Chain A
Amino acid sequence: MHSKWRLIQSGTSYTLKGVVLLIFIFPFLWMIMTALKTFPETMVFPPRLLPAMPQWSNFVTAMQSGPFVTYTINSVIVTVSIIILQMVIMIPAAYAFAKYKFKGQPLLFALVLLAFMIPGQVTFIPVYLMLADWGIIHTLLPQILPFAANAFGIFLLRQYFMQVPTEIIESARLDNASEFKIMLKIMVPMSVPALATIGLFSFVSHWNDYFWPLVMTDSMNVRPLTIGIAMLRETEGISNWNIIMAGNVVLVLPILLAYLFSSKQIVKAFVYSGIK
């Protein structure tokens, strides 16, 4: 009886997991399959999943339709610079909010949370006017500087740092360790899963960002991959969805790779916070 019940339980569990997996995988599968279709195949209704003959040349067409090397270099520079700057600003800020008591701390932390809640669409015009006034609108900096501080990251890392016992910090201080050393040698190594999570979220959101680079840049030379891909789409009429999807496959590949490398740390971050 027990073994029958267990069989039903595991059967249901696998079926549900399979359904959830399909829901998440299907858009990716659809993207890859469309990338391998001919144009007439993308127009068939009702749509078919599999192409009659995979069209690998769609990837070549997509990549040759613009300066994709420049777009890729720009995307890498912007995303990597943002992540490094965020780490440099976020770690000391989170450490201070978690382990220091100072005047105005709640107010300052509330201001950080407030920044977290304001969408970019609200601030882009004043930010653009300010950056245009500085004369840097034709550089990569308008895509980097406004994201140097990550309010969500400061919040998440602060929560993580708060769980590190104060006794460890105090004993390090007794051993004459500087605050900088405590931060780098104690807090950071203990928070790698949280930093990996924040890093990945930041990577995904800035690698995929379309709106901000579009409004902040006026020249193709400083534009990222997302705009290059958007250019494959027709403004009016019917688009070559097979070519657009080939471009999208190239766009999401680094995200999938980044997730593969950091997935263990992300799971750890969630498990750790769950246990605590």
Chain B
Amino acid sequence: MKKSVVGSMLVMVMLLGLVMGCSTNNNQPANDQPAAGASGGEGKTGKTKIQFWHSMGGNNGEYIDKMIKAYNESQDNVEVVGTFQGSYQETLTKLQQAVPANTAPDISMLERAFVPLLAEAEVLADFYPLLESTGMSEEDFLPGLLENVKFNGQLNALPFNRSTPLLHINKTLLDEKNLKVPATWDELEAVANALVVKENGEFKRYGYSMPYASWYPIAMIQQLKGAFFHAEGTGMGFDEEGVQTFEFLKKMQSTGALYYPPAQDSGNIVNSMFASGQIGMMMESTGVIGRHAGVVDFDYVTAYLPMKDQYSSPTGGANLVMFESSKNKEAAWDFMNWVFNDPKGGQQFILDSGYVPFTKKMAESAEMKAQWEKVPARKVAYEQLEHALDTNNDAAFAAVDQIFLKATEAIMYDNADIRSTLDSFKKEAEKLMQE
């Protein structure tokens, strides 16, 4: 008995030892560990260590690792440690808990709509003096991507992996019916209806689709010269524009011209159906171009989002922010400055990933032009930035977005009355904005 008890105790002690031992890693160099309660610090190699949190998984995660590796190999003073922190929402949650715990990183990727939340909490560093220190200015960035980055006279975020919705088209289907690429809502409706195939009461092909997300109805509201939030941040910025948007979508849905997908995994469903020729056109992010160009067996093209009263497209993706708590702002800026200016930095990441270029220098580079020549669909995304407009710039967006999606579900899935649903949404949203 005593032997077994002693044996058990030994196992316990060994296990706890293992746990404590593993508390400073097994396979990685020990100096990869950031100091607890600090943003970065000095590693054992004498390099200043910079913590960079991001939300890039899959192929894009590999491209971002490649970029960080290239920077670390390019100089001997700073070492950037990139860490995946989950989706954009999960990264925000982690930042919200890390800031009060004093474990925030030096730099982080932050979904563009979440920037106001942290900027208003005054935890983000001002980029104006940093840009000036290396002879840069906000003029170096594409203006369409600087919509949601300035707060209280400070520049709190700079664009990085940015995207915008586009019209993706199966041109082969349009050509079969002698249809032109639609440029207006009316043309879109006519072309989408012409593409519908209905057999024995069942739709075999739909004309048009879009994933389940607020991004797409917001684009349409803006095309009607409305805004999601009022410019002064006093409330919602649309009225009839919202009603017209959903009336248009419901009208198209009723004839099979629009396939509105189920909420769960809608992006994959819509893209799979588009790739299989079961949807003729879709409003989707620039992020999917790489998945269709050169892969699908039809003539694949992209175009501007069709206009109503004006062309307009919101932007998406994420920006880079630096935390005011960072003890190594200079080193962190050295990395960011390299990302913005070195061809192996952000430019290579954009070429690899397919996000839109974010600096003027990048857009004018020979490498980018060569890629546009090869994949013209990407150039359309860049050109459409001329009409980029973001009207969801409010700290309450994350919360308002959730109830907007509920209203969308009620209208698109349950045929709820459009006007009354949007009225109740607006009341609830304005309450949230005042909190």
B-contacting residues of A (Cβ < 8 Å)?
40, 42-45, 47, 65, 67, 69-70, 73-74, 77, 80-81, 84, 88, 124-125, 128-129, 132-133, 135-141, 144, 180-181, 184-185, 214-215, 218-222, 227, 230-241, 243
Contacts and interface: CB of A to CB of B under 8 A. Distances in A.
B357 to A, nearest CB: 16
Given A215-B97, A218-B105, 4 more contacts: A70-B26, A81-B16, A128-B101, A233-B57
A47 B83 CA distance: 34
Nearest to B32: A221
A234 B19 contact: no
A44 B276 contact: yes
B268 A135 contact: no
Nearest to A135: B36
Contacts of A241: 268
A266 to B, nearest CB: 24
Interface of B: 1, 4-5, 11-12, 15-16, 18-20, 22-28, 32-34, 36-37, 51, 53, 55-62, 81, 83-88, 90, 93-94, 97-98, 100-103, 105, 163, 267-269, 271-273, 275-276, 278, 285, 287-288, 290-291, 295, 316-317, 354
Nearest to A80: B15
Nearest to B62: A65
Contacts of A141: 19-20, 23
B287 A237 contact: yes
A140 B19 contact: yes
A138 B23 contact: yes
Q: Which of A180, A220, A237, A243 has the most CB of B within 10 A?
A: A237
Contacts of A137: 36-37, 101, 103
A135 B33 contact: no
A256 B232 CA distance: 57
A81 B62 contact: no
A238 B285 CA distance: 10
Contacts of B37: 132, 135, 137
A138 B268 CA distance: 35
A172 to B, nearest CB: 13
Contacts of A238: 267-268, 271, 288, 291
A43 B276 contact: yes
B34 to A, nearest CB: 6
Contacts of A42: 272
Given A129-B101, A214-B86, A238-B271, A45 B278 contact: yes
B83 A237 contact: no
Contact of A235 (B5, B60, B97, B268): B60
Contacts of B275: 40, 43-45
Nearest to B59: A234
B237 to A, nearest CB: 25
Given A70-B28, A74-B22, A84 B12 contact: yes
B139 to A, nearest CB: 28
A236 B19 contact: no
Given A221-B28, A238-B271, A88 B12 contact: yes
A270 to B, nearest CB: 28
A76 to B, nearest CB: 10
Contacts of A185: 1
B275 to A, nearest CB: 5
Q: Which of A80, A137, A181, A241 has the most CB of B within 10 A?
A: A137
Given A80-B15, A239-B268, A220 B83 contact: yes
A219 B36 contact: no
A66 to B, nearest CB: 8
A207 B243 CA distance: 47
B97 A136 contact: no
Q: Which of B36, B55, B102, B267 has the most CB of A within 10 A?
A: B36
A84 B11 CA distance: 10
Given A70-B26, A236-B317, A132 B101 contact: yes
A77 B88 CA distance: 29
Given A88-B12, A132-B37, A144-B19, A219 B32 contact: yes
A227 B28 CA distance: 17
Q: Which of A70, A218, A243 has the most CB of B within 10 A?
A: A218
Contacts of B271: 43, 238
B103 A218 contact: yes
A138 B34 contact: yes
Contact of B295 (A40, A124, A128, A184): A40
B58 A234 contact: yes
A65 B18 CA distance: 26
A276 B291 CA distance: 59
B102 to A, nearest CB: 7
A233 B62 CA distance: 11
Nearest to A231: B57
A67 B112 CA distance: 30
A47 B163 CA distance: 29
Contacts of B97: 124-125, 128-129, 215
Contacts of A139: 19-20, 22-24
Contact of B27 (A40, A67, A128, A135): A67
12 contacts: A42-B272, A88-B12, A139-B22, A141-B19, A141-B23, A214-B85, A219-B81, A219-B83, A221-B25, A221-B27, A234-B287, A235-B58
Contacts of A80: 15
A4 B88 CA distance: 62
Contacts of B272: 42-45, 47
